[in-house]
Every structure is written in C-alpha cells, then in structure tokens.
C-alpha cells in the first residue's frame, strides 16, 4: 500500500499546487473562514466518509475515514486561517482580499492534506483502523480552534494526532523533528496604570502614570534575567505603550500590552506570578492603581518522545527520493495551538522545510513577502503518508 500511496501522491502534485494557489488567492481571517470551510466541504462531496462541520467554536471540520480492519485511530491535522497582513509577495496568485494574506503556510497545509486524505479514502480498505482528518479553523487568534475541537469530544477515540508546519528553514526535501517541549507557550497581558494628571511645571501636584509605566517596562525584564534559571526559556515583550499626550502635561493614565513566551508550564506559572507581583508593587511604590489583565493563551507544545522517535525512524527509513534529509531541529520560539492535541494525546508535530529556490535569506512566516517552494507540498504529503503507513505497519 505504501508504494501505491506514494505513486498516487506524486501523480497529484500539480493538484496540490492548484489548491494551494486557490486558497492563497482567497484568504480569510480566523473565525471568519466561511468560504474556505465550504471549499473544503465541497472537496469531500460524494466521497465515502463521514463529515462533521462547524466543529468547535467556528468552522472546524472533521472527516472520518473508517478503515477496512480494526486497529489504531489517528488524527491528521491542518489549519486553514490567514493573517491580517497586506501581501507584498510577488506572485501571480496574490491575495484578492486586501489586508488578508496566507503568510504562515496554512494554505499549503490544507492543500497537501486534502489530497493525502483523498488518496487514503481510496485505499481505506487496507487501513487497519480509523483516520480522522482535522481541518482546523482559527489557529492564529486565541482561544484558537484546537482547544474547542478537543473539548467537543469528537476526537476522544484517537490514539495519536500528527501535524506539520511549513517553515523556511532549508530547501524542500528537508524534514525536521524535535522531541519534548518543541514550541513555546504564550500569554497576553494588558496593564492600565492610573495616576493623576497635572501640569508639567508642577509634578508634585500630580502622579505621573508614564514614570510608573516606564518603571514596569524595565522591571519586567528582570523577571527573565533574575527570576528564571539560566536554563529556562522565557521572553517578555512589551509591544505597546499607549502614553501619547501633550509635551507639557503629566499623563493621567497609560496602557501597556505585552506578549509572554515560555517553554514549560512551570516557567509559565513563575512569570505570571512575578508580573502580578510587579503590578502590585507598582501601586505601593508610585501611589498609582493598576488594572492587570493576564490571559494564558496556548500552552507549550510537547511532542511525545516515544512517538516522535517513531516518526523520525519512519521518515529516515522511507527511502523516498523527495525526502532528502531528516534531522532534529531545535525548539521553536513561536507558539502553536496544536499543543492542545498534544496535551490530550501522545502526538508529534514536525516541520517541512520550504525555502524558495535561490533564496539564501528567506522571509519567515508572518512576513508580508513570505512564500514557499511548492515542491514542499508533495514532501509534506509523502512525509505524513509515510508516518501513517509506519504506524499501521503497512508495507
């Protein structure tokens, strides 16, 4: 079956590219992917599968492929939302939706999985178990789609879930993996510092919210340098400081927004505790009042070591002309809501290199000029196909 599956995928490479380009031209933002979801549903019309739509808190779709024999149940996941970015990539299939762009590769994720799923449907009598194809909405915007799909219970019978991400970390043909904690978790914070406004000439009659807020920005960095172990991974970014006013007026209040990243749940708890402690101390030290919003978004993504070792073994032994190198990658700094599947099931999320040909310094995901080598679509389909065959011991 494996050889047959690979031949089928090779014969449909152009179809993957065509699907990817259609989706790229018609991107939709998280929780607004109505037309994208309909496109996916239309693809499965008339096929011998069970289809469930509007799964979770949005346009999630789960397609169930029941094999001809009993055995393990696995899930294959691809996301399909886009980003609020004005596209600058010079491609003939540029986004038609102004200000919206597939700048993270989700168009490619969906394209490869649609074709792979169709091939698996045609070969389902040979599959000893059930495969659930998870087309997930809203990966980019918390609370995301994964958490709600997991909580729906629709996946409770799965043993494992697998997913990939296109990343420009090497030429098409390179596949990467990492066992253990692999993607950062993230949290969002917003702090409103309320002081007392006044005239710039008389600071003693006011209480300067900008001074207090500026102190918080500096002090927050000491959480990383002085509260975390040198062996822990954490980042605090204050990305917004809304203190715009008039040059000779002491600001009454300011608002700060920040992004927090961490690689373990223990680090998450430590950073959250210290930020809350700093906000409380700010009130005491500067005589201001602080209103802190702190929301934990996606947890760290943990790849089960045993499952990941098997994935690496299947790929290294694939002897496939399109999978040219398989190697371990370091942990990734971004976050990924695949983490919710990995928290519930022993899972593996691995990486498909996609640097465009001839580019030595490619634009990374989320850049307005981000693009991929479309040869990576076939690599993704075959890599996940080899993993499926490996877990089902199909030769």
Rounded to whole angstroms, how far apart are CA atoms 124 and 161? 18
Tokens 């609020």 found at:
84
Residues 20, 178: Cα–Cα separation, whole Å: 27
Asked whether 223 and 234 are in contact (CB, 8 A), the reply is yes
Give the pLDDT mean for 165-185: 98
Express each pLDDT in 336-376 by its tens digit.
Answer: 999 999 999 999 999 999 999 999 999 999 999 999 999 99
**Catalytically annotated residue among 33, 79, 118, 139:** 139
At 394, the pLDDT band (50, 70, 90 cuts) reads confident
Mean pLDDT over 22-28 rounds to 98
Q: pLDDT at residue 300 above 80? A: yes
Indicate the pLDDT class of residue 395, thresholds 50, 70 and 90.
Answer: confident
Q: Calculate the dihedral angle through the C-alpha atoms of 207, 209, 215, 219, rounding to the nearest 10 degrees.
A: 120
Pick the CATH number of 185-296 from 3.30.70.360, 3.40.50.1820, 3.40.50.150, 2.40.50.100: 3.30.70.360
CA angle 51, 55, 57 (to 5 degrees): 165
Tokens standing for 310? 């098997």
Q: Among this protein's residues, is 107 annotated catalytic?
A: no
- Which architecture, in CATH terms, is 2-182+300-391? 3-Layer(aba) Sandwich (3.40)
Q: What is the mean pLDDT of the chain?
A: 97
Query: Which residues is 121 bridged to in the sheet?
Result: none
Work out the average pLDDT over 55-80.
97
Q: pTM for the whole thing?
A: 0.94
Are 298 and 184 contacting, i.e. CB atoms less than 8 angstroms apart? no
Roughly what angle, to the nearest 10 degrees, separates helices 13-25 and 34-43? 160
Break the chain into its structural domains and give their ranges.
2-182+300-391, 185-296
Residue 196: the pLDDT is 97
What is the average pLDDT across 56-83? 97
Please tell me the distance from the alpha carbon of residue 27 to that of residue 226, in angstroms, as a whole number. 43
Cα→Cα distances 212→209, 223, 224, 241, 255, Å:
5, 17, 20, 12, 11
Question: What is the percent of the chain where pLDDT is above 70?
Answer: 100
What does the alpha-carbon distance between residue 297 and residue 308 come to, in Å, rounded to a whole number? Answer: 25
* Active-site option among 81, 118, 208, 320: 81
The model's pLDDT over 89-143, given as tens digits with 9 standing for 90+, comes to: 999 999 999 999 999 999 999 999 999 999 999 999 999 999 999 999 999 999 9
Q: Is 81 tagged catalytic?
A: yes
Those residues whose C-beta lies under 8 Å from the C-beta of residue 155, and which sit 6 or more positions away, are 62, 75, 132, 134, 149, 161, 341, 344, 345
Main-chain dihedrals φ then ψ at residue 339, nearest 5 degrees = -55, -30
Q: HEC string of 233-246?
A: CEEEEEEEEECCCC
Instruction: Collapse the DSSP code of 367 into the 3-class scheme (helix H, G, I; strand E, B; otherwise coil) and give the result.
Output: coil
Tell me which residue has tokens 């005491």: 284
Average pLDDT over residues 248-273: 97
Which 3 state secondary structure label does DSSP give 382? helix
Task: Tell me how far apart the alpha carbons of residues 48 and 63 are, in angstroms, rounded to a whole number.
Answer: 10
């Amino acid at each position: 079956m494996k050889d047959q599956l690979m031949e089928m995928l090779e014969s449909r490479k152009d179809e993957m590219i065509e699907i990817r380009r259609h989706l790229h031209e018609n991107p939709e933002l998280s929780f607004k992917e109505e037309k994208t979801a309909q496109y996916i549903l239309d693809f499965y019309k008339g096929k011998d599968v069970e289809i469930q739509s509007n799964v979770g808190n949005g346009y999630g779709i789960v397609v169930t492929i029941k094999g001809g024999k009993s055995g393990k149940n696995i899930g294959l996941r691809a996301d399909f939302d886009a980003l609020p970015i004005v596209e600058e990539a010079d491609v003939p299939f540029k986004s038609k939706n102004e200000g919206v762009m597939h700048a993270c590769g989700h168009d490619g994720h969906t394209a490869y999985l649609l074709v792979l799923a169709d091939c698996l449907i045609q070969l389902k009598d040979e599959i000893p178990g059930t495969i659930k194809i998870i087309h997930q909405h809203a990966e980019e915007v918390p609370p995301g789609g994964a958490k709600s799909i997991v909580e729906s219970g629709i996946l409770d019978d799965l043993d494992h879930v697998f997913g990939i991400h296109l990343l420009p970390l090497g030429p098409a043909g390179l596949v990467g993996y990492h066992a253990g904690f692999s993607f950062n978790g993230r949290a969002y914070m917003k702090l409103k510092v309320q002081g007392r406004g006044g005239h710039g000439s008389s600071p003693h009659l006011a209480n300067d919210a900008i001074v207090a807020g500026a102190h918080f920005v500096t002090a927050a960095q000491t959480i990383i340098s002085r509260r975390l172990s040198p062996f822990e991974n954490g980042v605090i970014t204050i990305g917004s400081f809304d203190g715009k006013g008039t040059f000779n007026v002491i600001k009454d209040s300011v608002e700060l927004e920040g992004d927090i990243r961490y690689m373990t749940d223990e680090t998450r708890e430590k950073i959250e505790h210290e930020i809350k402690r700093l906000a409380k101390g700010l009130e005491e030290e500067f005589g201001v009042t602080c209103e802190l919003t702190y929301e934990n978004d996606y947890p760290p993504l943990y790849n089960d070591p045993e499952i990941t070792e098997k994935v690496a073994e299947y790929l290294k032994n694939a002897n496939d002309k399109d999978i040219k190198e398989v190697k371990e990658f370091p942990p990734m700094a971004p976050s990924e809501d695949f983490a919710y599947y990995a928290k519930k099931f022993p899972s593996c999320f691995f990486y498909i290199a996609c640097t465009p040909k001839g580019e030595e310094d490619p634009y990374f995901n989320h850049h307005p000029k981000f693009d991929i080598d479309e040869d990576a679509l076939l690599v993704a389909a075959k890599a996940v196909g080899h993993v499926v065959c490996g877990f089902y011991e199909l030769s």
